Amino acid sequence: TLELKDIISSGLLELYILGLTSQDESIQVQQWIKQYPEVQKEIENIQDAMESYALAHAIQPDQSVKKRILDQLSDSSQKNVITVPSGEINENAKVYTISTYFKWAAAACFILLIGSLVVNYTFYNRYKSATSDLQTTRQQLTQQKQTSDLALRQLQEQKQNVDFTQEELQKQKQTANLTQEQLLRQKQTADAVREELERQKQVAEAMNKDISVMTDKNSLPVVLNGTPHAPDALAKIFWMKNTGEVYVDPTHLPQAPAGKQYQLWAIVNDKPVSAGVISTNKGVYLIQKMKSFGKAEAFAITLEKTGGSPTPNMKEMYVMSKI
């Protein structure tokens, strides 16, 4: 029998919400929902996260949708008009006047109906598109992780081969009449290869860490869009909903000029709070862990002097987004 923490971390709840479970798995999840209130709560949290993702990646509906609905309603109302012959009109009949209040109420109900149809149609398209994008992204990230793991294993094998080469060089030094200069050149070459392999290993490990953050089931991605000051800038926040940890991906930010450094801010209770400066390594940006926040209304990134600032420079704000 699985424990509650094993059920939540199994990944079966996400598949159940996406409709990817078998009949037996669906029955099992429904039994867990009845048995554990925590499972029902976790499913609601996952659905909220998916809805946030869907809204963040929404596709605007075609402007002709509302017009088509209004045209159809107009055609339908004209078809239902009944013409009464003049000879059948009773001029002595009592006439009831509809008050202005009820006319306005009817008009308001009609407008609300049209708005509801447009909103429902728009949200359906957004949710459908976002769900498809989420599944595609997860598949791509899984494939990238597999490729990265394979590259890491190959690098480890190459490192073992280099170690073996150095051992052979030592044996050759003892048994062959090689000059000291030749041995030194070979050693320098082996050291250079070792350093390059170590660098590539670090890059591969960093990529694995980045992929783990993006594919974590508790990760909530937030896109930070460019401000009027930098409309082409873009960054991403990955907020771990279970721990409050914050990771930033500044890959699409412009190169910071000399003496400047990007700084992440969280808006908490309508006040900016520094989440730390974003470090760079020879122009290469990687996902970085920042200061954790239990709650925040928004995130923003500004360009500050190297080392950061206690208050944000609003004139140099590059990206921002509300949660």
62 against 129, higher pLDDT = 129
The last residue of one of the domains, among 56, 83, 100, is 56
Q: Compute the average pLDDT of residues 72-97.
A: 46
- Residue 17: inside a domain: yes
CATH number, domain with residue 234:
2.60.40
Q: How many CB atoms lie within 10 A of CB 110?
A: 11
Give the three-class secondary structure for 144: helix
Work out how many domains the chain is built from and give that number.
Answer: 2
For residue 11, give both structure tokens: 């990944």
- Residue 69: inside a domain: no
45 against 177, higher pLDDT = 45
First vs last C-alpha separation in the chain: 38
Indicate the range of 38-47, 85-94, 144-153, 265-274 predicted with least confidence.
85-94
The last residue of one of the domains, among 56, 71, 86, is 56
Residue 73 is predicted with a pLDDT of 52
Residue 113 is predicted with a pLDDT of 44
- Residue 235: inside a domain: yes
Which residue segment(s) compose the domain that 16 sits in? 4-56
| CA distances to 102, 135, 198 from 185, in Å | 96, 52, 20
Indicate the range of 10-14, 75-79, 88-92 predicted with least confidence.
88-92
- Residue 291: inside a domain: yes
240-265 burial, b for 16+ CB within 10 Å, e for fewer?
beeeebbbbbbeebeebeeeebbbbb
Distance CA(235)–CA(122), nearest Å, equals: 26
Rounded to two decimals, what is the model's pTM? 0.40
Per-residue pLDDT reduced to its tens digit, 16-41: 988 888 999 999 999 999 999 999 99
- Residue 256: inside a domain: yes
Q: How confident is the model at residue 130 (pLDDT cuts 50, 70, 90)?
A: low
272 against 121, higher pLDDT = 272
170-182 burial, b for 16+ CB within 10 Å, e for fewer?
eeeeeeeeeeeee
Who contacts 16 (Cβ-Cβ below 8 Å, separation ≥6)?
25, 26, 29, 43
- Residue 314: inside a domain: yes
- Residue 76: inside a domain: no
- Residue 189: inside a domain: no
Per-residue pLDDT reduced to its tens digit, 238-273: 988 888 899 999 988 998 999 999 999 999 999 999
DSSP string of 219-236, one letter each residue: EEEEEEEEPTTSTT-EEE
Query: Is the model's pLDDT at 42 over the cut of 60?
Result: yes
Distance CA(8)–CA(230), nearest Å, equals: 41
